[in-house]
Structure 1
C-alpha cells in the first residue's frame, strides 16, 4: 500500500518493529501505552498498522484494524511534531480510509480531533472517561461474585462474551491478549456465576502503572469482583487506569468509589452503522486504539 504527496513520501503497512516508533510517539503524547501491546494488536490485523515515511524516515502513523467482514477500528493517528503542517497527516488518513474501504469504522477520538472526525463523516455515540489513581479497595464491598484466573479452557466462553460486549469478532486478538503474554505483563480474570463465565477483565503493565481493559460484566457486583481481582494482582500503591463509558453510570460510580480520578476523555464515534454494544455491561473498554 502506498499513497503519495509531494517528494518521497509513502504510506504503507508497517512491521511490528517499525510501528514500535509509533508506540513511543503515543507515550510522548501522554497516552501511556501497554509495554507489550503491539504483539497482541498485530494479531488482530497484521496489515492494519500503517506508517508514513518521508525519504524513508517515519513521520506519521495510524492503525486501522479490520474486524470480520464489515467492521474496522481506527487508532494511533499521530504525526510527529516535527513533521506537522506538511500534509502528511491528510495523506496518512486517506490511505487508512482506503484500507478500510466501505466498512463501518469506529474510533475513540481525542477532544482536539473530534471536529475533524465529524467532517469526515463520523458521528458521536458517547464518551469515555479515563479514570486513574491508586485504588482504594477498602471503599468497595468484598467480592460478591467468584473470580479466578482465565485458562485456555475458558477461551470459547470468553470469545462469545467478548463478541457481545465489543460488537465485533476478534478471536485472533483475544488469544494473544489473554494467553500469549507473561503473567507479570498481562493477566486476565473471569467471573463465574451458575458455573459459567459471566464476565472477564484484563490488567496489563503500562509505561506508567497499569490499565484494566476490557472489563466486561453483567452486573456491578461482578464488575467490582473483577476489578478487585485485577488490582490484587499488582503491587499495592500502583496507579490503575480504567477507561469507562460515560453512559454506564454504575461503572462511573465504581471507579469513583475506588478512589480513581477522571483525567482524560475521548469520544466514541462511528462512520457508518455503529455495532450493537450493550454499554451497561462495559465497565472498561479494551483500549482506545482497538476499541
Structure 2
C-alpha cells in the first residue's frame, strides 16, 4: 500500500526554505535510501532493501523528496515503466510535518513527471478519497495475507520437484515473456536485479514440457525477520501453490513472518491463502488508476511485485 498519511492542508507552508527535488544525484539518492531504511527499521515495516536502487533502474528520475532546510520531510516514488504506464508508491510525509502541504507538493511533482501515462497506485483505506480528489478512479481492492512463525507445509497435490527449477537455470528471456502477461510493461533490467538480489531467499520457475507455467520470488525485508512474496505469477492455482510451498519450505532460520500482497480481482488468491493457512490482515486497501486502466491478465497475479513499483 502507499504509505502516506497525508492530512488536509491546515496552513500551507510558504517559507523559502522548502523545496521539492528530484533524486537525480547520488547524494540525494543515498540520503533517501538511508531515510527509508531507518524508518522501516524503527517502525518494523516490512519494507524491502534497495528501494532507491530498484526504482532508479526503472526510472532514474522517479524519486522526489520535499526538503525543509535540507532535510527530507516528504517523499514519493513515481516510476515511468515505459511511455504508457507509470506507478506511484512510497508516498509519505513525516508526522510532525503533516498539514503544511509538503506531501501535496511532492505528489504534484510526481504527477507532472508521469505525464499522460496510465498511472497506478495501491492506497491505504484512509487515503482512497484523497486520491480520488486528485483524479484517480478506484478499480478494485488489494489484500495482505500474513503468516507468523511459518512452518514447513505438506506438499500439494501433483507436486513434482522436477518441474520447479531455480531461476538461474532458466532462460531469462522466457521468464520475461511470461512476466509480461501479468504486468503491463517490459521490465528486464529491473526484474533481473530484483530476482537476483542477495536478500532473495528463493526465486523459482515452474516449467513443464519446456513451457513456463509460473514463477515467483520470496525476499527478506529490512531487519531480516520478515519475508514477502513478490512477484508470484502463475497460470493456475495449483502451480501457484506448488511454487509458494517450495519457497516457504526453503526459508532460512529466523524468519518470523511471511506475507503476500495481492489483487482481489484474482478470485483464486483467497483459495491460495486458505491452502497455505495465511490469514488476511486488516491492512489492505484500494487499487486506483488515472488516465485509464492498463492491460494485463490479473487472473495469474497471486502476489504483486511491490507496493512501490506495481
Aligned equivalent of 1:47, options 52, 55, 61: 61
Structure 1 CA distance for aligned equivalents of residues 202 and 179 of structure 2? 16
2:182 counterpart of 1:165: yes
Larger mean Cα displacement after TM superposition, 217-226 or 25-34: 25-34
Q: Relative to 1, partners in 2 of residues 1:243 and 1:143: Cα closer, same or farther, differing over 3 Å?
A: farther
Distance in structure 2 (CA, Å) of the matches to 1:26 and 1:92: 20
CA change 1:143–1:226 in 2 (3 A) is farther
2:75 matched to 1:70?
no
Matches within 5 A, 1:204-215: 204-207=219-222, 208-215=225-232
> 2:61 and 2:172 mapped to 1: Cα distance?
25
Tell whether 2:30 aligns with 1:17: yes
- Deviation of residue 154 (structure 1)? 2.2
Q: Mark the CA change 1:186 to 1:12 in structure 2 (over 3 Å): closer, same or farther.
A: farther
20-29 vs 67-76, greater mean Cα deviation: 20-29
Q: Aligned equivalents of 1:188 and 1:265: distance in 2?
A: 25
Taking the aligned partners of 2:43 and 2:128, their CA distance within structure 1 comes to 17
Deviates more, 1:48-57 or 1:143-152: 143-152
Check conservation: 1:35, 1:185, Cα contact below 8 A.
no
Structure 1 residue 89 corresponds to structure 2 residue 103: yes
Match of 2:307 in 1: 288
Provide the rounded CA distance (Å) in 1 between the counterparts of 2:286 and 2:194: 24
Q: What is the DSSP-based 3-state SS (H/G/I as helix, E as strand, rest coil) of the residue aligned with 1:270?
A: strand
Larger CA deviation: 64-73 vs 126-135:
126-135
- Secondary structure at the counterpart of residue 294 of structure 2: coil
TM-score, L = length of structure 2: 0.85
Please name the residue that 2:131 is paired with: 117
Q: Which moved more, 1:266-275 or 1:186-195?
A: 186-195
1:84-121 Cα shifts (integer Å, max 9, x gaps): 11111111111111111111100001111100111111
Q: Report the alpha carbon displacement of residue 278 of structure 1 after superposing the two structures with TM.
A: 1.2
Q: State the alpha-carbon separation in 1 of the partners of residues 232 and 139 from structure 2.
A: 19
Per-residue Cα deviation, 1:36-88 (whole angstroms, up to 9, x for no partner):
44422321112101111011011000000001111100000000111111111
Unpaired stretches in structure 1, ≥5 consecutive residues: none
Rounded Cα–Cα distance in structure 2 between residues aligned with 1:209 and 1:49: 25
The answer for the alignment partner of 2:287 in structure 1 is 268
| Cα pair 1:190 1:200 within 8 Å, conserved | yes
Between 1:147-156 and 1:96-105, the stretch displaced more is: 147-156
Structure 1 residues 79 and 24 mapped into 2: Cα distance closer, same or farther (>3 Å)?
same
- 1:7-33 CA-partner distances (Å, limit 9, x unpaired): 221111224312211344356566410
Q: 1:185 and 1:223, CA in 2 relative to 1: closer, same or farther beyond 3 A?
A: closer
Provide the rounded CA distance (Å) in 2 between the counterparts of 1:95 and 1:156: 35
Query: 3-state SS of the aligned residue for 1:151?
Result: helix
Q: Provide the alpha-carbon RMSD of the alignment.
A: 2.1
Q: Which consecutive unaligned segments of at least 5 residues does structure 2 have?
A: 1-12
Q: Which range is displaced more, 91-100 or 12-21?
A: 12-21
8 A Cα contact 2:54 2:194, kept in partner: yes
- The residue aligned with 2:267 is 249
Tell me by how many angstroms 1:222 deviates. 0.7
Q: Given the alignment, which residue of 2, 12, 17 partners 1:8?
A: 17
Q: How many residues align?
A: 286
TM-score for both structures, normalised by structure 1 = 0.91
Q: CA offsets per residue over residues 227-268 of structure 1, 9 Å max, x none? A: 012112213673210112212222211112212111110211
Deviation at 1:153, TM superposition (A): 4.7
Of stretches 144-153 and 209-218 in structure 1, the one that deviates more from structure 2 is: 144-153
SS in structure 2 at match of 1:130? strand
Q: Is the 8 A contact 2:201 2:252 kept in 1?
A: no
> Is 1:230 aligned to 2:250, yes or no?
no
